[in-house]
Amino acid sequence: MTRAASTLLFMLAATLVNLLLTGGFFFGLLFIYGLTLGRFLRLGSSAYVIFAAFIAAIVLSILVYNAILKLLRKRFDLEKRLGLR
């Protein structure tokens, strides 16, 4: 596989993982809210909760994505495998 093809494949896989992480965190946070605070707080609109869950999901997915990428770089030497070094 050429350098460009392997880099493209890696970027597509990384993007898919990042989207799945973000979606998982978003729905997970909304589920946790529904089980805990949602029963006690009576808000007129759930837009604030959805917005906060969305921002928190993005932040959490960035942190987890970076940790996974560091682990993969260290374990599999991705720069060498993708031809970046």
CA distance 36 to 20: 24
- Residue with the two structure tokens 């493209």: 8
Residue 42 pLDDT class (50, 70, 90 cuts): confident
Mean pLDDT value across residues 3-24: 90
- Count the alpha carbons within 13 Å of 73 in the hemisphere toward its beta carbon: 10
Whole-prediction pTM = 0.81
Mean pLDDT value across residues 11-24: 95
